[in-house]
Amino acid sequence: MDQVKIGKFIAECRKEKGFTQAALAEKLGITDRAVSKWENGKSLPDASIMLELCKLLEIDVNELLTGEHVTMENYKNKAEANLLEMSAKVEQKDKLLLKVEKIMIAVAIPFYAAMIIIGAYVCKGGNIPLGIALIVMAVALVAVLACIGLRIEHDAGYYECPNCGERYVPTMKAVVMAPHMGTSRKMVCPYCGKKGYHKKVISKNKGEN
């Protein structure tokens, strides 16, 4: 909170109402020294008289604490700005998740292949239980990573229908069951009902990625 801005705003509102510092102080049952301190940005009105002060100046507490008149238009703009900021944060997080997934796959595939090959050699060398254990572990590891990957692909962003262009979040089941090419999945569009390869997109807004 900007105490100086709030002080200036109090002074401005007081003058608009035609009060002197002394008159305002008297109405609030405080000293005019206190009013002067607010207006110079040296202190904030006590919470106990804030409401009374706002009533006298015909402003709301939000305006008092912001240090300016907040119009309905401003309320809307501020709310929209906050929403945009929030969705930008979600998109950033989703992009990061998809990147993590790609790295995970890139690391897992050679690791998986290596474990299978080593397992096969160990089997061939005679230690069949150890060889089989290695292969089972490799398969289990890939299954776990596939689950995590599917979860990320479902949760992050949206899928876009190439037919009608709508963007949506499919059910987890649809994602699991769908054949895929890269991050595109063959699914049925919940809007137009057509089946096709639906592209992974981060933003809900059409025309963006």
Which range binds Zn ion by CB under 5 A, 40-48, 81-89, 161-169, 176-184? 161-169
171-190 residues in contact with Zn ion (CB under 5 A) are: 189
Kind and range of the H or E run holding 48: helix 47-57
What distances in angstroms separate CA 184 from CA 26, 93, 118, 154, one per listed residue? 71, 20, 33, 12
Which position among 83, 128, 164, 172 is part of the footprint of Zn ion (CB under 5 A)?
Answer: 164
Tell me how far apart the alpha carbons of residues 168 and 190 are, in angstroms, rounded to a whole number. Answer: 8
28-57 footprint of Zn ion as x/- string (CB under 5 A): ------------------------------
Of the candidates 170, 165, 192, the one whose C-alpha atom is nearest the C-alpha of residue 180 is 170
Among 161, 175, 187, 201, binds Zn ion (CB under 5 A): 161
Rank residues 116 and 174 by Cβ distance to Zn ion and give the closer one: 174
Q: Residue 198 CB, nearest distance to Zn ion (Å)?
A: 8
Write phi, then psi, for 125 (nearest 5 degrees). -75, -5
What DSSP character marks residue 202?
S
Contacts with Zn ion, residue ranges (CB under 5 A): 161, 163-164, 189, 191-192
